[in-house]
Structure 1
Amino acid sequence: MTVAPAGSVTANKERLASYQTYQEAQKTVDYLSDHGFPVHGTLIVGVGLRSMEHVLARMTHLRAAGWGALSGAWFGLLVGLFFGIFSTMAESLVALILWGAVAGAIFGVIAHAAHGGRRDFVSETGLVADKYEVLVDSEHAARAHELIGKANEQWRKQ
């Protein structure tokens, strides 16, 4: 996937509306689509992007073993299902899942210990925006404004 400069992507586009949440912008585009508007080329643009990391918990040896066991069990299940194509022994599937869980737990603890106390927490990272703008093709902007005016009336009544 190539990333085009922002100016070329937004060329010949007009801002229809600006929202505080992505869901509001998505609701607008969905409304336009439901009412026959040609949404091909419509953009939802996050403005004022920031990276945010939400710390969920402290990483301990026990938690590292648990996550490792879970990922190892999934891997064991995958390998077991693959081998299951060629075999009818259900016991081998259970054994692979258990061995995967044990190996994963061991590797999880080793990996956690190898960090030497750096990054002793679990987190999830994402991008957030200050606002979300809906941009439409300039040639269809008048129709989009008309439709969104009707939508705003309906949404106010709800």
Structure 2
Amino acid sequence: MVSSPFTGPQRPGAGLPRLPTPPSGWPIGSYSTYEEAQRAVDFLADSQFPVQDVTIVGVDLMLVERVIARLTWGKVVGTGAASGAWFGLFVGVLLSLFNTTGSAFGPILVGLVTGVVFGVVFAAAGYASTRGSRDFSSASQLVAGRYDVLCQPRHAEQGRDLLAKLAMKPGESQPE
């Protein structure tokens, strides 16, 4: 769960630190993927363990940028036109709701055309500003080398015992 300015005493997330704070607790499991750590915490929850004392901590963080596609002027202009068209269509529909004179299609058409024009102009300007130094699109993701499951000391031994039972089940993920 992520802390939020909207959490309060009666809302989920109450008691979470408001400022970035290092995690506390004793390690009760270590996993190579987030999915395995999540599965371990889910097992604890299914076993009626007090999971509010548990924290999953990503260790050895890495920023991974996966290249999706090569960019060309055609792709940039096409994507800008499509994006602008959706936004223009949205604005045109909103304007048509308040249009008391004439057809409802006039504002929709104007919004669509204007959106396409602005979408193409902004996409082309952004791509041209890179001057060919970034001719690809990518997606970035923050991943960890391992994921430790920590628990507050009062329940750490019980959590460790439960996760040991999970590790002994055939076909289940093994902690590191």
User: Normalised by the size of structure 2, how large is the TM-score?
Assistant: 0.75
**1:107 corresponds to which residue?**
122
**2:28 corresponds to which residue?**
16
- Of the structure 1 ranges 78-87 and 55-64, higher mean CA displacement relative to structure 2 is found in 78-87
Per the TM alignment, residue 65 of structure 1 is displaced from its structure 2 partner at its CA by: 0.8
Note if contact 2:60-2:144 (Cα within 8 Å) is conserved in structure 1: yes
Note if contact 2:63-2:140 (Cα within 8 Å) is conserved in structure 1: yes
Per the TM alignment, residue 138 of structure 1 is displaced from its structure 2 partner at its CA by: 1.0
Q: 2: distance between equivalents of 1:123 and 1:40?
A: 36
Where does structure 1 differ by over 4 angstroms across 4 or more consecutive aligned residues? none
Per the TM alignment, residue 124 of structure 1 is displaced from its structure 2 partner at its CA by: 1.1
Structure 2: segments with no counterpart, 5+ residues: 1-17
Secondary structure of 1:132 counterpart:
strand
Structure 1 residue corresponding to 2:160, chosen from 129, 145, 148:
145
Structure 2 residue corresponding to 1:78, chosen from 90, 96, 109:
90
2:70 equivalent to 1:58: yes
Aligned ranges 1:116-155 → 2 under 5 Å: 116-155=131-170
Structure 1: segments with no counterpart, 5+ residues: none
When residues 144 and 157 of structure 1 are mapped into structure 2, their CA distance, relative to the original with a 3 A threshold, is: closer
Secondary structure of 1:123 counterpart:
strand
Q: 2: distance between equivalents of 1:84 and 1:144?
A: 59
Per the TM alignment, residue 157 of structure 1 is displaced from its structure 2 partner at its CA by: 7.3
Indicate the percent of aligned positions where both proteins have the same amino acid. Answer: 37
User: Normalised by the size of structure 1, how large is the TM-score?
Assistant: 0.82
Equivalenced residue count is: 153
Note if contact 2:166-2:172 (Cα within 8 Å) is conserved in structure 1: no
Return the structure number with greater helix share.
1
